[in-house]
Amino acid sequence: MDPLLSSATVVAAAAHAFFSPLGDLLAWTAGGVLAALAALHVYWGVGGAWPGDARHDKVEIVVGLPKGSPFPSLGLCLLVAFLLLSAAALVLGQRYGRGDLAALLRLGAWAAALALGARGLSGFFDARLRPATRALPYHSLNRRLYSPLSLALAAAVVGATFG
């Protein structure tokens, strides 16, 4: 056996042993946060008012629309919840799945990371596309919480996929 090849195998095995627990932690953290966000969207869909006192407060905080605008429908909230829960399942599934399905789950996890990364990056440009959001609480929350959380989740999904 080629000594260089065996050295590369040893290095790869050592890297996997080092990063595997980190990958597990990232997968469970990302999956848990995505599932919690899915539950929050279901809560909003069925009429929950938090983080505001009423639905009209929530539309300014969560959606970035002026007071009096309709909050997204139950169906739309459930769709977002389904997508978030699917992303959580893909992250955990690709981490622990085996066989032919593992490659498809990994592809799905990469798609989820791409979607989360796009959401995170787009949040920093939202005020240019929708200037009216600058006057709403959403603007600050989007730059300080929503976009960074989306980027952190994208990074965690990537780390769980590599680890």
Confidence of residue 13 (pLDDT cuts 50, 70, 90): low
Stretch among 10-24, 41-55, 60-74 having the lowest mean pLDDT:
10-24
Contact (Cβ atoms closer than 8 angstroms) between residue 23 and residue 158:
no
The chain-wide mean pLDDT, for the chain, equals 88
The residue ranking higher by pLDDT, 2 or 144, is 144
Most confident of 12-16, 50-54, 152-156: 152-156
What digits encode the pLDDT tens for the residues 78-110?
999 999 999 999 999 999 888 888 889 999 999
Is residue 153 predicted with pLDDT exceeding 70? Answer: yes
**Integer Cα distance of 104 and 84 in angstroms:** 18
Contact (Cβ atoms closer than 8 angstroms) between residue 61 and residue 4:
no
**pLDDT for 49:** 83
* Domain parsing of the chain, residue ranges: 22-162
**pLDDT for 55:** 65
